[in-house]
Amino acid sequence: MVLAWNPITRRHTYSNVIYIILTADELARIVERTIQHYNLHADAFWQGTRDHDVSQNISALLQRIHGLTPFTILDLGCGPGRDLIAFAGLGHVAVGVEGAANLAAMARTNSGCEVWQQDLLALDLPPARFDGIFANAVLFHVPGQELPRVLRQLNATLKPGGVLFTSNPRGRNEEGWSGERYGAYHDLEAWRRYLVAASFLELDHYYRPTGLPGRT
């Protein structure tokens, strides 16, 4: 992958993590361009990801949630609805959040689940609603300066004892543009610091099997 980094040099430190400082206009541009990319490529994205096996990740979330089933699960960045279908098929109540209108519409059609169209930097989530959050390959789209706020919002929408699952491409704590998508690529230690600062307690972590995209 060739990364074309946005030439911004302003930086700040949060919880011992250095991140780029972005203006409100720059953040709006990040959201607009990234969502536009997914809207333009919605059909190709569905065809390219519909058969991806993420059962390991789904199981990792569900086995850590305690209480009576069915669980209420928030699929953050649900895309065309592949994982909504999986959670619903297991008997759980799955709700999707998706910023791209075309993907959100596909998710509703494909899964029959409730899907809220919200971008990651403007979440409007009910308090203490969900037993678990499935954030599979999505939070890396959140710029570092906004990540603490977004993680606190996710914590607040979980029920007491609720569980957040995250999977992200691994990196060296860099962020910027990759084509028309913005991404922030953290190493494990930096990601842990973000989670701890948002009052999460780590339960487990693992890496994807050899041969699959590197995520943690």
Report yes or no on 210 lying in a domain.
Answer: no
Task: Inform me whether the pLDDT recorded for 216 exceeds 50.
Answer: no
pLDDT on residue 18: 57
CB-count exposure of residue 117 (10 Å: 0-12, 13-18, 19+): middle
Could you tell me which residue, 16 or 193, shows the higher pLDDT?
A: 193
Distance CA 209, CA 195 (A): 23
Report yes or no on 112 lying in a domain.
Answer: yes
pLDDT on residue 38: 97
Single pTM value for the model: 0.89
Place of tokens 């040099």: 9
Structure tokens at 95: 């709700």
Segment 11-68, tens digit of pLDDT: 444 555 556 799 999 999 999 999 999 999 999 999 999 999 999 999 999 999 999 9
Q: 174 is in which domain, residue-wise?
A: 11-49+64-197
Distance CA 192, CA 43 (A): 34
What CATH number did the domain enclosing 82 receive?
3.40.50.150
CB-count exposure of residue 167 (10 Å: 0-12, 13-18, 19+): buried
Q: How many domains does the chain have?
A: 1
